[in-house]
Amino acid sequence: MPETLALAEKSAELQQLVKRVARARRVVVVTGAGISVNSGIPDFRSASGVFRQIQAAHGHVVGKGRDLFDASVVFRSGAAAAVFYEWMTQLRRQCAAARPGAAHAFIRQLADRGVLQRSYTQNIDGLERKAGLRVWDPYQKPGSAGHVPWQQAHSVPLHGTMDHLTCQLCASAVPFAALPGGAAAGDACAECLQRSQAREACGRRALATGKLRPAVVLYEELHPHGEDIARIISHDARSRADVVLVFGTTLKVPGCRQLVRRLAAAPRTTTVVVNNEPVCGRAWDGVVDYQVVGCVDEWCARVQRAWNAQSKITQWATKRTRGAPAAKENAPEPTSRKRRVSDSDSEPEPTSRKRRAPDNNSSLEPARRSARIATRGGPADYQQRQPLSICT
């Protein structure tokens, strides 16, 4: 079972974990609905979440609140589809009015520091773009103003966003208007109508017309861009992140579980799950290293304080390094103890070393030289001396 740390307790191990995350050079973040609750967007699974609200208001239409987001259930009856369109329109207005929270600002700071490898989000609120992150949007065509290649994207929405509506029949995409007057969920597809009217003008039968729905992925539904996302995940898994941070999710969606397992499988990768309640049991042994129980915003604040402490140390060291040569250059020249010779002083003439004349008794020179070597210690005596130890 992963080691559980309480954020409310200021333990030494928790502090070391915060410092390790602050020193990381490659970070991948996986986020869920919990990071957007403080921005005014409800989550789905809590006691006051969207599922409970739907069940309380429309229990006679759908058996469970989750059924409204199940593709195999919601479009079977017109009444359930109408409730789905109504709730998605209301959620779109909430997303348009919401502002990024502390967790979104933290991810943006990771990007600004150059350590964010990728941010994968299960959220459909689009707050990552409002926070200033580059978001990969498969509905933006290359060359358009909002197109961001996946290699340059900071954030990848796993379940789509509320920015677009797609036709259930022809799959064409249009912007999802947050205000009345534009395209709304449940409206007839304009492209389908245009093709049908063109056929009728030629005397042919009319074509079926699809309805617009938010470009989000529901339960029991194939992801229309699943292959592209799988390619991005494979690329990031090969890059081997130093730290994988999982924020505000219960890890109950199968796709998200597989994503975390894939990213955490790299050696020397530290995986940290931060949530208000414990979510990792024995099934996550060997995958998740730590689960921190507490508020995600408080965790982000602690890492930011660790960054600030590192910056202060770096600035102090930089000032000290830059100030040392300057102090050396501005220091006064040392006064020499030698007497300065003036121009008027006459320099003494160097004494010449005259060669000593050889003694008349030159036959005694080899014997005297041998005696001097034996007295001082010659080459044989030097080899027998013990070398000095550098460890003393």
Using alpha carbons, select from 123, 211, 120 the residue that is nearest to residue 162: 123
- In the chain, which ranges are continuous DSSP H helix? 12-23, 50-58, 71-74, 78-97, 102-112, 127-130, 190-201, 226-239, 254-264, 296-330, 365-376, 379-383
Which pLDDT tens digit goes with each residue over 73-82?
999 999 999 9
**DSSP states along 238-302:** HH--SEEEEES----SHHHHHHHHHHHTSTT-EEEEEESS----GGGTTT-SEEEES-HHHHHHH
Examine the pLDDT at 281 and tell me if it is beyond 60: yes
Q: Which two tokens stand for residue 80?
A: 């359930």
Report pLDDT for 369: 43
* Nearest C-alpha neighbor of 91 from the set 196, 2, 213, 233: 213
Looking at the predicted structure, is the pLDDT value of residue 2 above 70?
yes
What is d(CA 113, CA 106) in angstroms, rounded to the nearest whole number? Answer: 11
Average pLDDT over residues 344-373: 46
Q: With a cut of 50, say whether residue 379 has pLDDT above it.
A: no
Please write the tens of the pLDDT for every residue from 43-94.
888 888 889 999 899 888 988 899 999 999 999 999 999 999 999 999 999 9
Determine the pLDDT at residue 316: 66
Question: What is the average pLDDT value for the chain, to the nearest integer?
Answer: 84
Q: How confident is the model at residue 323 (pLDDT cuts 50, 70, 90)?
A: low
- Which residues are paired to 270 by β-bridges? 243
Please, which pLDDT band fits residue 165 given cuts at 50, 70 and 90? very high
Tell me the pTM: 0.78
Q: Give the whole-angstrom CA distance, residue 22 versus residue 16.
A: 10
User: At 231, is the secondary structure helix, strand, or coil?
Assistant: helix
| H helix runs in 121-241, sequence order | 127-130, 190-201, 226-239
What is the mean predicted confidence (pLDDT) over 104-111?
98
pLDDT bin (cut points 50, 70, 90) of residue 322 is low
The Cα–Cα gap between 158 and 92 comes to 18
Sheet holding 173-175, edge to edge: 173-175, 160-167, 212-216
Mean pLDDT value of segment 299-303: 96
Would you give the DSSP letter of residue 64?
Answer: S
Q: Which residues are catalytic?
A: 159
